[in-house]
């Protein structure tokens, strides 16, 4: 069965920000939406992020996806980044974060699979409230989780860009995943840290609730970050499910589990 979400709206915007070139890569399809933030000298970061984004987008050619397919494809992206670096010495040490959203089958029902590796993020807007779904893999976010820093302190900490998981490492650390049933009116934001470092959750929420058009929303998010003086590349994908009713099969996840997510973390 060919499985898509009727009426799905998508907006994608990326800006070089304060960098010399853009090492972010973003791709959107019918079933898969992904942002990757590359790192590495001699433009190798954009090579790594491009490999990751293109590898994940290959899933879009399939008729049906399952959660295990997403995990396997991220692992394949890691192998390809490593293989490219092995064949090109100037790419040695390159890596990339990856974060995204995929429409998958869980049992007989459609679900959103959210995934991330690194500090690129996925947020979910439901009933007017924005929540960060993913957990940053960074030294600073580990301090937040231990209660040693507040979220606001973490935004300005000098070590906020030190990530603890990236693609381009062997062995690859486990991929974090979360599963959600679709709800009419919900929105997802997938972004690189160039956006989340500049705008607070409250500011992101205000823009996501104020504008209806997905592309205009993505444009405005990135514009605000750049106007604020973004020091990094800034990338945003907005995925919106409009309408009063989704027209999808009955949810398999109880509504009370939606806020905390129904899935697994690696």
Q: What is the pLDDT of residues 185-238, one digit of tens each?
A: 999 999 999 999 999 999 999 999 999 999 999 999 999 999 999 999 999 999
Rg value, the chain, Cα = 17
Q: What is the pLDDT of residues 15-71, one digit of tens each?
A: 999 999 999 999 999 999 999 999 987 679 999 999 999 999 999 999 999 999 999
pLDDT for residue 107: 85
| pLDDT of 261 over the 60 cut | no
pLDDT for residue 151: 76
- Span 134-149, mean pLDDT? 81
| Cβ atoms 3, 103 nearer than 8 A | yes
More confident residue, 244 or 6: 6
Whole-Å CA distances, 195 to 16, 136, 232, 243? 11, 14, 8, 28
User: Predicted confidence band at 87 (pLDDT cuts at 50, 70, 90)?
Assistant: very high
User: Predicted confidence band at 176 (pLDDT cuts at 50, 70, 90)?
Assistant: very high
CA 126 to chain CA centroid, Å, is: 17
CA 146 to chain CA centroid, Å, is: 24
pLDDT for residue 206: 98
How far, in Å, CA of 66 to CA of 84, rounded? 27
pLDDT for residue 31: 96
More confident residue, 110 or 157: 110
More confident residue, 154 or 234: 234
Of 146, 157, 147, nearest to 193 (Cα)?
157
Class of domain 9-242: alpha beta
DSSP-derived secondary structure letter, 139: H
Q: What is the mean pLDDT of the chain?
A: 88
202: left (phi over 0), alpha (psi -120 to 50) or beta: alpha
Provide φ and ψ at 192, rounded to 5°.
-85, 165
- Span 68-94, mean pLDDT? 97
| Cβ atoms 177, 111 nearer than 8 A | no
pTM (predicted TM-score): 0.89
Domain map of the chain by residue range?
9-242
Q: How many CA atoms lie within 13 A of 9 on its CB side?
A: 16
pLDDT for residue 126: 95
More confident residue, 141 or 260: 141
Give the CA angle between residues 16, 56, 98 to the nearest 5°: 50
| pLDDT of 132 over the 80 cut | yes
């Amino acid at each position: 069965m060919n499985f898509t979400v009727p009426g799905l709206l998508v907006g994608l915007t990326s800006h070089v920000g304060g960098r010399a070139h853009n090492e972010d890569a973003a791709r959107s399809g019918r079933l898969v939406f992904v942002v990757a933030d590359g790192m590495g000298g001699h433009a190798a970061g954009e090579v790594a992020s491009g490999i990751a984004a293109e590898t994940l987008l290959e899933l879009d050619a399939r008729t049906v996806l399952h959660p295990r397919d997403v995990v396997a494809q991220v692992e394949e992206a890691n192998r390809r980044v490593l293989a490219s670096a092995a064949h090109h010495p100037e790419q040695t040490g390159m890596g990339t974060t990856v974060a995204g959203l995929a429409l998958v089958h869980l049992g007989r029902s459609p679900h959103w699979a959210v995934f991330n590796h690194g500090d690129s993020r996925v947020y979910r807007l439901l009933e007017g409230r924005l929540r960060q779904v993913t957990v940053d893999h960074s030294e600073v976010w580990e301090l937040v989780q231990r209660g040693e820093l507040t979220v606001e302190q973490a935004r300005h900490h000098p070590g906020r860009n030190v990530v603890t998981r990236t693609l381009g490492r062997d062995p690859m650390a486990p991929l974090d995943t979360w599963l959600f049933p679709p709800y009419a009116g919900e929105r997802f934001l997938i972004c690189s840290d160039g956006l989340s470092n500049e705008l607070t959750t409250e500011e992101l929420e205000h823009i996501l609730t104020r504008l209806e058009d997905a592309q205009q929303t993505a444009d405005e998010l990135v514009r605000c970050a750049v106007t604020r003086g973004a020091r990094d590349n800034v990338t945003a994908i907005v995925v919106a499910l409009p309408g009063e009713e989704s027209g999808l099969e009955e949810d398999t996840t109880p509504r009370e589990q939606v806020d905390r997510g129904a899935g697994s973390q690696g």
